[in-house]
Structure 1
Amino acid sequence: MILTVDVGNTRIKAAVFEESTVVENFVFEKIELEKKIEKILKKFPNCSDLVVASVGSVEKQSFLAFEKQLKVHFFTHEDVFPFHNKYATQKTLGIDRMILAGGATLQFPKQNRLVIDAGTCITYDFIDENDNYLGGAISPGLRLRYESLHNFTARLPLLTLEAPDNYVGNSTPQAIHSGVVNGFVYEIDGFIDEYRKEFSNFIIILTGGDAEFLAKRLKNTIFANSNFLLESLNQTYQYKIDND
C-alpha cells in the first residue's frame, strides 16, 4: 500500500492506494498533519511508502518523523518523469504541475492532453501526443478573485463562492458572483477553444477543489476528476520505481 500526500496552498489531501485502486481519501488542515498521518498509518499498517508532492509551507521534518515506519519520498525536479520537459524555466515549474502532467501522460497515452487544476490558483498544463510538456498558464482561482475584489477596493464585500442567479447581477453581491464565476468559466472555455484550434486528438482533464462546481458550467466536454493529482502521484511514483 502507498500513502500519497498532496500539500497544497490551502489544505492537505491524501489517499491510500492498493496498486492503482484508491482505498480511502482524506482532506485536512496543515496544522493537523502529523496527527492525521499517524491515524491513517494506524488504520492502514500495511502502507510501505509515503509519497509527497508539496507546493505549500509544510516542513519536511513533519513527514520524516515517520521514516522508521515506512519509506518517505518527496518528489523533486530531479525525479524521473514520463514526459519530455520543454519548459524554458524547468526549476520553477511547480511539482504539482509536473505530477499532473505525469499522470496525464501515463493515463491518456498518445493524445494531446490539457490538464486544468482549479484550486487556489488555476493552472493549465499541456502535454502533446508525443509526450512533450510544453507549458501552459497560471491565473487566480475563484477564492483569490473574491478576495482581491474585497482587499483592493474600499467598499466591496468579501463573499464566498455561490452560483450567480443570472448573468445580469441585480445587486452588488450578485454582480460580484456573476463577474467572478462567469468570468472564470469564460476564461477556461476560452483557453480550451484556443488549444482546440491548434491540436486534434485532444482530451481535457479538469481537477482541483473547484472542479465539480465548474464541470457542469463549461461548454466544452471534459474529463472531471477532483482526485486526479493524488492518482497521478501514485502513478508517477510507480513509473519512477520502474524506471530509476
Structure 2
Amino acid sequence: MILTVDVGNTRIKAAVFEGNTVLENFVFEKNELEKKIEKILEKFPNCSDLVVASVGNIDKQSFLTFENELKIHFLTNEDVYPFVNKYATPKTLGIDRMVLASGATLQFPKQNRLVIDVGTCITYDFIDENDNYLGGAISPGLRLRYEALHNYTAKLPLLAFEAPELYIGNSTTQAIHSGVVNGFVYEIDGFIDEYRANFSNFIIILTGGDAVFLAKRLKNTIFANSNFLLESLNQTFQYKIDND
C-alpha cells in the first residue's frame, strides 16, 4: 500500500492506494498533519511508502517523524517523469503541475492534454500528443478573487463562495457573486476554446476542489476528477520505481 500526500497552499489531501485502487481519501489542515498521518497508518498498517508532493510551506521533519514506519519519498523536479519538460524555466515549475502533467501523460497516451487544476490558484498545463510539456497559465482561484475585491476596495464585503442566482446581479452581493463565479467560468471556457482551435485529438482534465461545481457550468466537454492529483502522484511514483 502507498500513502500519497499533496500539500497545497491551503490544505493537505491524502489517499491510500492498493495498486491503482483508492482505498480511502483524506482532507485536513496543515496543523493536523502528524496526528492525521498517525491515524491513517493505524488504520492501514500495511502502508510501505509515503509519497509527498508539496507546494505549501511545511517542515519536512513532520513527515520524517514516520521514517521508522515506512519509506518516505519527496517528489522533486529532479525525478524522472514520462514527458519532456520544455518549460523555459523548468526548475521553477511547481511539483504539483509536474505531477498533474505526469498523470495526464500516463492515463491518456498519444493525445493532446490540457489539465486544469482549480484550487487557491487555477493552473493550466498542456502536454502535447508527443509527450512534450509546453507550459500553460496561472491565475487567481475563486477564494483569491473574492479576497482581492474586499482587500483592495474600501467598501466591498468579503463574501463566501456562492453560485450566483442571476446573471445580472441585482445587489452588490449578487453582483460580486456574478462577477467572480461567471468570470471564473468564462475564463476557463475561453482558454479551452483557444486550445481547441489550435490542437486536435484533445482531452481536457479538470481537477481540484471546485471541479464538480465547474463541470456543470462549462460549455466544453471535459473529464472531471477532483482526485486526479492524488491518483497522478501514485502513478508518478510507480513510474519512478520502474524507470529509475
Do both proteins adopt the same fold according to a TM-score greater than 0.5, normalized to the shorter chain?
A: yes
Where do residues 127-166 of structure 1 align in structure 2 (5 Å cutoff)? 127-166=127-166
Match of 1:58 in 2: 58
Map of 1:214 onto structure 2: 214
Q: Distance in 2 between matches of 1:92 and 1:70?
A: 30
Counterpart-to-counterpart distance in 2, 1:152 and 1:211 = 27
Relative to the length of structure 1, the TM-score reads 1.00
Q: Secondary structure at the match of 1:240?
A: helix
C-alpha displacement of 1:125: 0.1
Deviations 1:2-28 (A, max 9, x none): 000000000000000000000000000
Q: What letter matches 1:114 in structure 2?
A: L
Runs of 4+ in 1 over 3 A off after TM superposition: none
Q: Quote the residue 1:40 is aligned against.
A: 40
1:172-193 residue CA offsets vs partner (Å, 9 max, x unmatched)? 0000000000000000000000
CA distance in 2, matches of 1:204, 1:152: 34
Question: Displacement of 1:88 after TM fit?
Answer: 0.3
When the two chains are superposed, the root-mean-square deviation of aligned CA atoms in Å is 0.3
Letter aligned with residue 150 of structure 2 = H
Partner of 2:20: 20
TM-score of the superposed pair, with normalisation by structure 2: 1.00
Which amino acid in 2 is paired with 1:94?
Answer: G
Give the number of aligned pairs.
Answer: 244
Q: Output aligned runs, 1:1-244, within 5 Å.
A: 1-244=1-244
Deviation at 1:213, TM superposition (A): 1.1
Aligned-partner SS, 1:183:
helix
In structure 2, distance between residues paired with 1:176 and 1:186: 15
Per-residue Cα deviation, 1:120-139 (whole angstroms, up to 9, x for no partner): 00000000000000000000
Q: Give the deviation of 1:166 after TM superposition.
A: 1.0
Secondary structure in structure 2 of the residue aligned to 1:158: coil
- CA deviation map 1:185-240 (0-9, x unaligned): 00000000000001000000000011111110000000000000000000000000
- Separation (CA, whole Å) in 2 of partners of 1:77 and 1:224: 26
Identical aligned pairs, as a percentage? 86
Q: Distance in 2 between the 1:4 and 1:220 partners?
A: 31
Corresponding residue SS for 1:157: coil
**Superposed CA offset, 1:90-122 (max 9, x none):** 010000000000000000000000000000000
Letter paired with 1:144: L
**CA separation in 2, counterparts of 1:94 and 1:157?**
32
Task: For 1:121, give the aligned amino acid.
Answer: C
| Secondary structure class of the residue paired with 1:91 | helix
